[in-house]
Amino acid sequence: MNTSTPSKILIVQERIPHYRIALFDRLGQEEHLDVTVLHSGKPTASPDRLYHEIIVNQRALGMLRYQDRVMELSQAFDLVILMFDMRYVSTLRLLLNSGRVPVILWGIGLGQREWVNKLRMAVMNKAKGLILYDGAVIPRFVEKGFPEERIFVASNTVHVNHTVDWSTPRQHFLFVGVFKERKRVQDLLSAFYCARHELPEYIHVNIVGSGDQRPELEAQAAELGIADRISFLGKITENEKLAPLFASAIAYVSPGHVGLSVLQSFAYGVPVVTMKETFHGPEANNMQDGVNSLLYDGSIEQLKDKLIYLANNSDVALQLGKNAYEYYSENRTIDKMSAGFTDAIEYVLST
């Protein structure tokens, strides 16, 4: 690969969520890369951004999506990184014409819908490389004939620029996320109600997020008579505002689905409490029961017991948090994630 002139890299996304900015900035720090992100969301540009962005119109037809001008604009780049999302006709179109510009697919790899997985498998060989969230699915792609040397892992994570103060008193349980049924926030309220008489009176629950379920959750807290110990704080995404909430949290509790929240909690030195068996995101593979997390069988009774145990054994909760922070620091920083991208880019451009 010629390193005298930066290679022009186009990354195609639906939008740029706040937690992806750090990744694209980190890739933009590489002297041999000139990074542009094409998307259909709100602008993220600011004077300190280290990547360029192109915003295009996106159209929908049922489940399908089409982003305008992807094929046209891609021709000005040395390599394109596309979403491994088969809903995007624009992605398929460029992939099937990838002889014009080398393509890397980036994403979770496999989903729940088997017909979509079959489509992924059918078109993946058009790509010069795969970047996956998790290495556990690599054998399935190899079995289908995709060369293992063209598969790279960029373990999904979030960047948190924060130093943990382990002396901060931990006095509440924390949930951060969108209020959706799969999150089962109502279970947290029910378990806290059942546990309340066995918890120190100063222990409460901070709930950060937004969604249609908020009125129902507030009504549930009122009906259970625990509204004075439940704080609904609205949507918060800024690290500087989240930091004090995590710093004083005994544990992050998400009874249902968990994803990037696992790594976010670990980055702040906070263990995770969630169900053993549910459709978690691949980030759940970072959890180790009894080491950096506590897993339970999905019942209110067991969740109640976990809350009581952690609230009354601060040394255990603190050690779980320290283990979580150490794991994040050694394995899941944004530098680790960006290295998966640079390895894939360098491989494809040199072959």
Same domain, 185 and 303: yes
Q: For residue 322, give the CATH number of its domain.
A: 3.40.50.2000
- Beta strand residue intervals within 126-229, DSSP E: 129-132, 151-153, 172-178, 204-210
Report yes or no on 1 lying in a domain: no
Q: Put residue 209 in one of left, alpha, beta given phi > 0 → left and psi -120 to 50 → alpha.
A: left
- The Cα 77–Cα 99 span in angstroms is 13
Instruction: Assess contact for 257 and 272: CB atoms under 8 A.
Output: no
Q: Put residue 45 in one of left, alpha, beta given phi > 0 → left and psi -120 to 50 → alpha.
A: beta
Report yes or no on 18 lying in a domain: yes
Same domain, 127 and 40: yes
Q: Supply the range of the domain harboring residue 280.
A: 172-331
Same domain, 204 and 297: yes
Report yes or no on 337 lying in a domain: yes
Instruction: Assess contact for 148 and 142: CB atoms under 8 A.
Output: yes
Q: What residue type is assigned to position 176 of the chain?
A: V
Same domain, 248 and 339: no
Based on the structure, what is the number of domains in the chain? 2
Neighbours of 49 (CB within 10 A): 15
Same domain, 180 and 305: yes
Cβ contacts of 225 within 8 Å, gap of 6 or more: 193
Report yes or no on 15 lying in a domain: yes
Same domain, 176 and 143: no
pTM of the predicted structure, to 2 decimals: 0.89
Closest CA to 248 of 206, 294, 308: 206
Q: Residue 205 forms beta bridges with which residues?
A: 173, 230
- The Cα 75–Cα 305 span in angstroms is 58
Ordered mean pLDDT values, 10 residues apiece, the chain (351 residues): 80 95 97 97 90 96 94 96 92 84 90 75 89 90 90 94 90 95 95 97 96 94 97 93 96 94 96 89 92 96 98 97 97 96 97 89
DSSP states of 137-158: GHHHHHHTT--GGGEEE-----
- Cα Rg for the chain, rounded, in angstroms? 22
Same domain, 282 and 318: yes
Report yes or no on 17 lying in a domain: yes
| pLDDT score, position 44 | 92
Same domain, 185 and 154: no
Report yes or no on 165 lying in a domain: no
Same domain, 179 and 326: yes
Same domain, 65 and 142: yes
Closest CA to 295 of 330, 264, 267, 320: 320
